[in-house]
Structure 1
Amino acid sequence: MMRLASLIALAIAAPVSAQTIAVTHAEAWTLEGETPVCDATIVIADGKIVSVTPGGAVPDGATVIDARGRPVTPGLVNAATQIGLVEVSGSGDTRDMASADERNAAFDMSSALNGNSTLVSLARADGVTRALIYPAPSRFAPFNGEASMARLRDGVEILDAADVGVYAVIGGGAWDRLGSRAVQWAALRKALVDARPALTPEKGKGKKGKHGGPPPPGRRAGEALIRAVLRGDVPLAIQTHRESDIRQAAALVREFGIRVVIIGGTEAWRAADVLAAAKVAVVLDPQVNLPGSFDQLGARQDNATLLRRAGVAVAIGQAGGAIHSNYNAGMALREGAGIAVANGLSWIEALRAVTTAPLAIWGRGGGTLTPGADADLVVWDGDPLEPSTNAVRVIVEGRAVSSRSRQDVLAERYKDVR
C-alpha cells in the first residue's frame, strides 16, 4: 500500500506531456499576412505550433479537432484587465488589486491571482488566453505597483510573468492627496530622477534613508522597480486620458529615454503625431463614446483608427475601474474590437489589437499562428469580433482547456425548470 501510494503521488506530481493536436479544415488567421490560410491543418506538439499547411497531413496518434472551415485565430489577449484580482467589486474579500501599505512601493499583486475565479473561466470561454493584469492605486503615489501577465490555463495557477511593467495613474481624481496634477507629474519625475544615480553602483553606494541608515526595504524595492524602467527592462504604464497629460507622458520618453505605454488614452487621438514620434503605445477601449470625467471630453470611437493612421501601436483593454476591467473581460474585448472596425479600423488591424499588439507592447512577443509560436489558439463558430460568435474550442499552451463558464453550468442546471 505504501509503495502504491508513493507511485500515485509521483504520478500526480509529474508533469503531463503535452499532447499532439491537429486542427483540420481551418480558416487559419496566422497574422503573418492580411488573409487567412484556407483549409489549413494546424499541427501542435509540446505546447508549440509545428506547422500550418493547406490540406496538410495529420500526424499519427494526434488528437483531431475538425474546424469545419470555421475561423481559427491566435488566443485573444486583453491588454489591461483585473480578472483574477477582483471577483465581486462590492465585496472586500474578493478585491486584491491595491496596496494600502505605504512601505511597499513595489506592490506585486501577482501572488493574489486566482485562477479559480469564475471571471477567468468566463474570459477564457470568450477566447481570451492571456491578459495583462494591472494594480489599482496604492498609497505610494504616484505608482500603483507592478503589472503582470496571466495565462488563462485550467487550474488555479495562471501567472505567466510577473513584473512586466510599472503602473502609475495621472489625472483628475487620481492621488487627490497630492493635489494638482502638476504635483503628480513632479512626483513621478522626481522618482525617476532620484533613481538615476543608483544605476551606477559607485554613485548609488552609501545612499542613506531619512534617519541616516539605508532606505527601508519597501523603498529600496520601489527604487529597483523604477531603475528597471530607466534601464528599459520594462515599460512605464501611465493610466491617463487628457491630451495635456498624454503629451507630458510622451515627453518622459525624450527626457529619460524610457518606454511609455498610455492606458485609457481617451484623448490620445489629439496627440497622435507626438505619440508616434515618441513610439508610445496606447491601450484603449473603443467602447468609450461619452466622457466619464472632464479628462475625457474628447471621447470618440474612432480613436484607435486615428492613432493607427498616425503609426501608433494600439491594443485593446479595459482600465480605470470600469466593470469590464474584470467582469466580461472577454466579451468587452471582442465587442470593443468590433466597434473599432465599425469606426474605420481594418478588420485585420482590430484582430492584431487583441492578439499580437498587446504582447508586443508588454514585451512578450508572439501571438501568431506560425511554426515555433506558443500554441494558444481558438476555433470560432463565426467572426470572432462579433459578440454573438462563440469560441468552440480553446487551446492554451498546446492543451485543450475548458470553455465552459459558470453561466453555462447554471443554464444547463435550470434549462428544464418550468
Structure 2
Amino acid sequence: MSRAVTLRGIAALAAVLFAFPAAAQDVLIRGARVHTATAQGTLENADVLVRGGTISAVGPGLAAPAGVPVVEAEGRPLTPGLFAGLTALGLEEVSGEPDTVDNALGFADTHSVEAQWRPEFDVAPAYNPHSAPVAISRVEGLTFTVLAPGILPGGSFVSGQGVAVRLDGSFDAALDPSRTLFIQLGSRGKGFAGGSRAGQYMLLEQAVREARPNAPANLAAMAPSHGLLTPIGRETLARYLRGGRVLFYVDRAADIRQALLLAERFGFQPVIAGGAEAWKVADLLAAKRVPVLVDALVNLPGNFDRLGARLDNAARLHAAGVPVGFTQSGDATHNARKIRQLAGVAAANGLPWEAALAGLTRVPAEAFGIADGLGTIAVGQRADLVLWSGDPLEVTTGAEQVWLGGRPDSMRSRQTQLRDRYLREDGGWPRAYLK
C-alpha cells in the first residue's frame, strides 16, 4: 500500500529512502501545479509518477503502484530541476584561496611554450561533486550547471573547455554531449590579443589554420612566437571545426554579429553568453536559432560594450524568436541560487512567465545538447524535480523538496547545518548563549 506524505514529512521520508536506494527512485507526486516546460505548459492539479528514477506518467488522478510513496503537493508548483548558469561549482571552493580554485589556466612566463593557447584545457577532471557550494545550490532547486573555464593573466581569450554536470553529488556527473569550447570576445578578451578586437579575429584565424588538416607539417617544430597551438591543442580545436559547440562571452552588438560570422565560417555551433546588446541583432540571432544566455539584471552601461543594455533584453529576444536562457555576471558560483531572480526580473519586464521558466530549464538543456533527459517534465525524462513553496520565480519562495533521478535530496547543506547548530532556541537562554 502506498504512503501519503505531506510536505512536513518529506524530509523524514527522504532520510528513510536514502537507506533503500532502489525504492528511493519511485514516487508519486500528487496534486501539484506541474510546470512541464514543454508545449503542454502548466497542468493544474496534476500528478507525476516516477519509476526507477524516470518519469513514467504525467496527468490527473494517477494511481500509485503498490509500495510507491505518495507525496501530497497540495497545489504547490512542481518544476524540472533548474539550471544554475555558467559557474565554477565544484571547481571553486573559496574564491579568495587559490589552492581551492581550479577553473582557469594562466602561466607566469608568458613567453614559455606552456603559454601557448590551450583549447585542450578541460575543467571537468577538477570537478569535486562534494564541494560545499554544490550542496548549497542543490537545496535551492538547482540541479545542473555548465562548468565554465575562466581567464587569467598568462592564458588566452580562448579559455578552454567546459561541460554540463548534474549537481547530484555523484562522481560521474559530467554530461559529455554538452562539451563546449569557451571564447571571450570584446573588451573582456582583447587584452589577450594585443589590445585590439581585430587582434582577436587575427589570432583566431591563425589558430584555425593551424588546426585544419592541411596545416603545414612543420608546425610541431615552431617556436611559441610562431605557432599558437600545441599538437593536442590543434587536435582539440579541429574537433570543434567539425560542428562543435562554442560559447562566446560577448556583449556588444557589433561583436555578436562578428562572432556569428566567425562561427559560420569556421563551422562552430554558437551559443552567446552575456549579450547585453543582443536585442539589437535579435533578427539575426533568431534566423540562425542561436541561443542567448542573458543576465536580466544588466540594465546600465557598466562598460562600453554594454551601452545598449536594457531590462527588456530577454523579452525582445524572445519576441523575435531567439531561444533565451539565463546566466549571471560576477560571482555566479557562490551566488548561483540568485539565477531565479534573473528570470523573475525578465518576466517583470515583458518576458512571458512560461518562457522565463524555460530559460532556467528547457532552453539551456537544449542549448548544450542534453535536453534528452533534462529540462522538462515529460514521460521518459530523468526525474530531476523541484517542489516549491510558491512561485519559483519569486525570491521569497524556496524549494520544499528536490528529487534527483527520483531520489529525494536530504535538503541539507553546510549552511543548514550551521543554521541548526547556532540558532537553536531551546533552553530558555538569551540568544548570545545559544550553541
Q: 1:17 to 1:166 in 2, by over 3 A?
A: farther
1:134 is matched with which residue: 143, 148, 162?
148
Residue equivalent to 1:49: 55
1:242 to 252, 264, 268: 252
Residues 1:290 and 2:300 are matched in the alignment: yes
1:151 paired residue among 166, 171, 186:
166
Question: What corresponds to 1:59 in structure 2?
Answer: 65
State the Cα deviation string for residues 35-89 of structure 1 (Å, max 9, x = none).
4222222111222110112011011111222211111011101331222112222
Deviation at 1:378, TM superposition (A): 0.4
The structure 1 residue matched to 2:333, chosen from 326, 336, 342, is: 326
Q: Secondary structure of the residue that 2:230 maps to in structure 1?
A: helix
1:77–1:358 contact (8 Å) kept in structure 2: yes
Deviation at 1:141, TM superposition (A): 2.4
Q: Give the distance between the partners of 1:401 and 1:375, measured in 2 at CA.
A: 12
Alignment partners' CA distance in 2, 1:315 and 1:37: 22
Question: Which 5+ residue runs of structure 2 have no aligned equivalent?
Answer: 1-19, 107-113, 426-430
State which of 411, 414, 420 in structure 2 corresponds to 1:406. 414
For 2:81 and 2:304, locate their aligned partners in 1 and report how far apart those are by CA, in whole Å. 36
Paired residue secondary structure (1:226): helix
* Counterpart residue number, 2:322: 312
Tell me which of 176, 182, 186 is aligned to 1:171. 186
In structure 1, stretches of 5+ residues that fail to align are: 1-13
Query: How large is the Cα RMSD of the aligned pairs?
Result: 2.5
SS of the equivalent of 1:244 reads helix
Q: What displacement does 1:16 show?
A: 5.6
Aligned residue among 40, 43, 63 for 2:46:
40
What is the match of residue 228 of structure 1? 239
Indicate if the aligned counterparts of 2:210 and 2:219 stay in contact, CA closer than 8 A. Answer: no
Deviation of 1:191 after TM superposition, in Å, equals 2.1
2:220 aligned residue: 209
Distance 1:146 1:162 in 2: 12
Question: Match for residue 175 of structure 2?
Answer: 160
Instruction: Select 1:69's aligned residue among 75, 81, 101.
Output: 75
What is the deviation of 1:401? 1.4
Instruction: Tell me if 1:111 matches 2:125.
Output: yes
Amino acid corresponding to residue 137 of structure 2 in structure 1: A
**Match in the other structure for 1:191:** 207
Q: Secondary structure at the match of 1:389?
A: coil
- Counterparts of 1:288 and 1:226, CA distance in 2: 32
Judge conservation of contact 1:377–1:394 (CA < 8 Å) in 2: yes
AA aligned opposite 1:186: M
1:394 equivalent in alignment to 2:402: yes
Deviations, residues 304-335 of structure 1 (Å, cap 9, x unaligned): 1111111111110124xx02x111202x1100
Which residue type is aligned with residue 211 of structure 2? A
Q: Post-superposition shift, 1:269?
A: 1.0
The DSSP-based 3-state class of the residue aligned with 1:172 is: helix
Residue of structure 1 equivalent to 2:388: 380
* CA 1:162–1:88: 2 relative to 1, 3 Å: farther
Q: Alpha-carbon deviation of 1:34?
A: 5.6
CA contact (8 A) 1:110 1:162 kept: no
Q: Is the 8 A contact 1:135 1:167 kept in 2?
A: yes
- Give 1:336 shift: 0.3
In structure 2, the partner of 1:343 is 349
The separation in 2 between residues aligned to 1:34 and 1:316, in whole angstroms, is: 22
1:120 is the counterpart of 2:134: yes
Q: Is the 8 A contact 2:36 2:43 kept in 1?
A: yes
Say yes or no: does 1:259 pair with 2:269.
yes
Q: Deviations over 1:327-384 (max 9, x none)?
A: 1202x11000000000000000000000000010111114211110111110011000
Aligned 8 A contact 1:114 1:158 in 2: no
Q: Which amino acid aligns with 2:175?
A: D
Shift, 1:245, TM fit: 0.8
The alignment covers a number of residue pairs equal to 393
Compared CA separation, residues 18 and 224, structure 1 to 2 (3 A): farther
Tell me the distance in 1 between the aligned counterparts of 2:413 and 2:301.
32
How far apart are the structure 2 equivalents of 1:207 and 1:66? 68
Residue in structure 1 matched with residue 85 of structure 2 by the alignment: 79
Match of 2:8 in 1: none
Q: Work out the percentage of aligned pairs sharing the same amino acid.
A: 38
Q: 1:17 Cα shift?
A: 7.1
> How far apart are residue 175 of structure 1 and its match?
4.6
Residue 388 of structure 1 deviates from its aligned partner by 1.0
Q: In structure 1, what is the Cα distance between the partners aligned to 2:339 and 2:149?
A: 19
8 Å Cα contact 1:154-1:402 kept in structure 2: no
